[in-house]
Amino acid sequence: MHVLLTAGPTYEPLDPVRFLGNRSTGKMGYALAEAFAAIGATVTLVSGPVQLPAPTNPLIRTVRVETAEQMYAAAAEAAPSADVWVFAAAVADYRPAHVAAEKIKKSGDTLTLELVKNVDIAATLGHTKRAEQFSVGFALETTNELAHAQDKLRRKGFDLVVLNSLRDAGAGFGHDTNKVTVLAATGQIVNFELQSKADLAHDLVGLIMGRLKLAI
């Protein structure tokens, strides 16, 4: 089995020293890569910029990228041959319309940035998804969590969506633990209580493998 897995943030450059980014550490995505490799799957890990050691399992091939456009290009290359797609990265929705060639100097009391929309990696690749491929998305929400996750499940053609809420203590960015709710396209909802991201990754891989067996 071949798994395409995206992890970490993307950094969208503003000038040679600044960027727009987010607080994702990539810990959940890297834990999932290790969990898939532990059951014998080959993994293409498309990683944004993270402060994590590279996986040493020979079944994991790490492709390092920085921007959303680079992550899309790497994911699009691996997607056709992958049996499972897992989009765990926190991809920037927008990027600066213009990247300054030199450091932007402080001038005036305000600075206005023009932003343009990035490619929606999961939705764009979803248009090419074959019936036998299995797609998993992640959603990090702060309000109306279930409604937003269910909308993402429908819009992007996912088979599963893993929902994080920043209102749950110890979950989401920057923690070694996580608590998630998994929504299935078939309507089922599965809750996983707070645990280490490594343990949760094994539980999620087990759930995905169980869904795959049902689909065969």
Q: Which of 22, 118, 144, 191 is catalytic?
A: 22
> Residue 54 and residue 26: Cα distance in Å, rounded?
11
Would you state the pLDDT for residue 215? 56
CA 60 to CA 34: how far, in whole Å? 8
pLDDT exceeds 90 at position 212: no
What pTM was estimated for this model as a whole?
A: 0.94
Report the distance separating Cα 116 and Cα 206, nearest Å.
38
Q: Where are the domains of the chain?
A: 2-95+113-215
Predicted confidence (pLDDT) per residue in 121-133, tens digit = 999 999 999 999 9
- For residue range 15-29, list pLDDT tens digits in order: 999 999 999 999 999
pLDDT digits (tens, 9 = 90+) for 61-106: 999 999 999 999 999 999 999 999 999 999 999 999 999 999 999 9
Q: What rounded mean pLDDT belongs to the chain?
A: 94
Cα-Cα end-to-end distance for the chain = 14
- Give per-residue pLDDT as tens, 164-201: 877 777 777 778 899 999 999 988 899 999 999 999 99
Q: What is the mean pLDDT of residues 133-147?
A: 92
| % of residues, the chain, pLDDT over 90 | 85
Catalytic-residue membership of 22: yes
Neighbours of 177 (CB within 10 A): 17
* pLDDT, position 51: 95
The helix/strand count (H/E) of the chain reads as 5, 12
Query: What per-residue confidence (pLDDT) applies to 60?
Result: 98
pLDDT band at 156 (very low <50, low <70, confident <90, very high): very high
- How far does Cα 51 stand from its chain's mean position? 16
Secondary-structure breakdown of the chain: helix, strand, coil percentages, each rounded to the nearest 5:
30, 30, 40
Q: Which fold, 2-95+113-215?
A: Rossmann fold (3.40.50)
